[in-house]
Amino acid sequence: MADVIQRTDEELVEDYLDGEVGAFRLLIERYHDPLLNFLFRLVGNRQAAEDVFQDAFLQVHQSLGSFDLTRTFKPWLFTIAANKGRDALRKSNRRAAVSLSMKPRGSGGGGGGEGDELVDLLQIEVPGPGAGMEAAETSVMVQHAVDAIPTRLREILLLAYFQKLSYTQIADQLGIPVGTVKSRLHAAVAAFAKRWQEQMDLAKRKNRREQAT
């Protein structure tokens, strides 16, 4: 048996289907932090994100027998999670969203510039109780900007930039044309940039008021 760290997701899936029960647990552990942070950005609530995480892996477990081992596991997992997150948002009657500004992997563009900064913002982990005030405030500002964008834009943007899936992978998993993925990403980038600037302006005004008192 290959070393755990060296085994790919697809190998772990195959090993689990062959009877190695612990292989599925390794998949859960491998994706616990990145998937939970992705879901937090998507649904905007830690408890809801944890619930969706469990629902997503339950669905994965139930559907694993039909998974095509010639394909990549990660896009499949995150698409299931995004669908579960969308369902959770509908049930809670919340309006969801996302955005960013850098060409995703496989889009033919390079990195650098403002886009990289926005990617970094979306990838900020939710700070725990011991985190510094600045990190906590930044995370809240990012989430407020994300929450202001429609769900259909949010999930595609998070898949493209947070998880770095290509246009083709997103289109394939969501069953929409590549052109639709591109147009929604373009709209999401503009929406996030606008909402983030609004959050920055609010923070600056707050700081000026505090300094004046």
CATH number of 114-212: 1.10.10.10
Q: What is the pLDDT of residue 135?
A: 60
Q: Quick check: 175 and 120 in contact, CB under 8 A? A: no
- Please state, in angstroms and as integers, the Cα–Cα distance from residue 33 to each residue in 38, 128, 149, following that order: 8, 13, 23
Q: Quick check: 165 and 90 in contact, CB under 8 A? A: no
Per residue in 162-211, pLDDT (tens digit) is 778 888 888 887 888 999 988 988 898 888 888 888 878 887 887 777 77
CB neighbourhood size of 96 (10 A)? 24
* Parts of the chain belonging to CATH 1.10.1740.10: 9-91
CATH number of 9-91: 1.10.1740.10
Residue 103's H or E segment, with its range, is none
Joined together, the tokens standing for residue 147 give 């929450």
Per residue in 12-68, pLDDT (tens digit) is 999 999 999 899 999 999 999 989 988 988 888 888 999 999 999 999 999 998 888
* Parts of the chain belonging to CATH 1.10.10.10: 114-212
Nearest C-alpha neighbor of 99 from the set 84, 85, 81, 114:
114
- pTM for this entry: 0.63
DSSP-H helix ranges across 149-177: 151-157, 167-174
Nearest C-alpha neighbor of 185 from the set 164, 156, 163:
156
